[in-house]
Amino acid sequence: MTIRVVIIDDEPLARLAVKTRLAQRGSFTLVGEFGDGDSAHDGIAALRPDLVFVDVEMPGRTGLEVLAALPPAQRPMAILLTAYDGFALQAFDLAAIDYLLKPVDDERMDEALDRAQQAFPYRGQGRATAPAAPAVQAFSVRVGARTVLVPVAEVERIEADGDYATLHANGKTWLVRERLHTLALQLDPRRFHRVHRSSIVRLDMIAELRALTNRDALLRLRDGSVLRASRTYMPALAEALQQRKSA
């Protein structure tokens, strides 16, 4: 399965950064790149890519305007690139599968590409963010000679612990032999969200979100725990919380 990609950004160095990272992933093939919105619109119509990396703010037609001008049936999956965090709701309305704040670190880029691979089989079947496989229902945890099943519905948050992860559920902690990044791809994104490179939170556990001056945020959970949400995860988190509020 090869995913055909177009990059749209008016900054040559930004396009080069994306190309460099795509070259490290054999499942993605670059089929075109554009430096402005007008040529990008015509290019997408001609090339029919599966996925576009698109800068939100460009001279002339913006990235969001490029996507909005395409008929929904012809609109590719999109990963938004921007230095600003005020476009999240518009981005997800246009089938964006991720929203990356510049400068984008390698881990966030890898997560976005993984989400694209998960969503790819479901193009044309509703939102592009649909999971490619049913979300896991329980975690299998080794406790001595026993195997304990911890229902996902009871998990309140998950924290990274080196190559492992710690589940917090009903006042207990359980060590899982999986990396946090792997667990994030197994969970239902409507219920769980990664908020930092070291933590995942069940959305209904968030009692308060307090923005910080550096565009990070502090999350107070219903059990009294306080976690930091990184700026790179904030746009997607804000959109997920808004969706829950309006549901």
Report pLDDT digits (tens) over 153-168: 999 999 999 889 999 9
Q: Helix or strand or coil: residue 161?
A: strand
Q: Where are the domains of the chain?
A: 3-122, 138-246
CATH 3.40.50.300 fits 138-246, yes or no: no
Check pLDDT > 70 for residue 91: no
Q: What is the mean pLDDT of residues 21-49?
A: 93
What's the rounded Cα separation, in Å, for the pair 95 and 103?
Answer: 22
**pLDDT at position 127, please?**
43
Question: Hey, what CATH class is 3-122 in?
Answer: alpha beta
Report the DSSP pairing between strands 146-151 and 192-196: unpaired
Residue 201 pairs with which residues in a beta bridge?
A: 157, 193
Domains 3-122 and 138-246 share a fold: no
Report the DSSP pairing between strands 51-55 and 3-8: parallel
Report pLDDT digits (tens) over 200-222: 999 999 999 998 988 889 999 99
Q: Tell me which of 180 and 242 has the higher pLDDT.
A: 180
Report pLDDT digits (tens) over 217-236: 999 999 999 999 998 888 77
- Give every CB contact of residue 59 below 8 A, 6+ residues apart in sequence: 10, 36, 37
Annotate 218-247 with DSSP letters as a single string: EEEETTS-EEEE-TTTHHHHHHHHHHHHH-
126 band by pLDDT with thresholds 50, 70 and 90: very low
Average pLDDT of the chain to the nearest whole number: 86
**pLDDT at position 136, please?**
80
What's the rounded Cα separation, in Å, for the pair 45 and 152?
Answer: 42
Q: What share of the chain is helix, strand, coil (3-state, %, to 5)?
A: 30, 35, 35
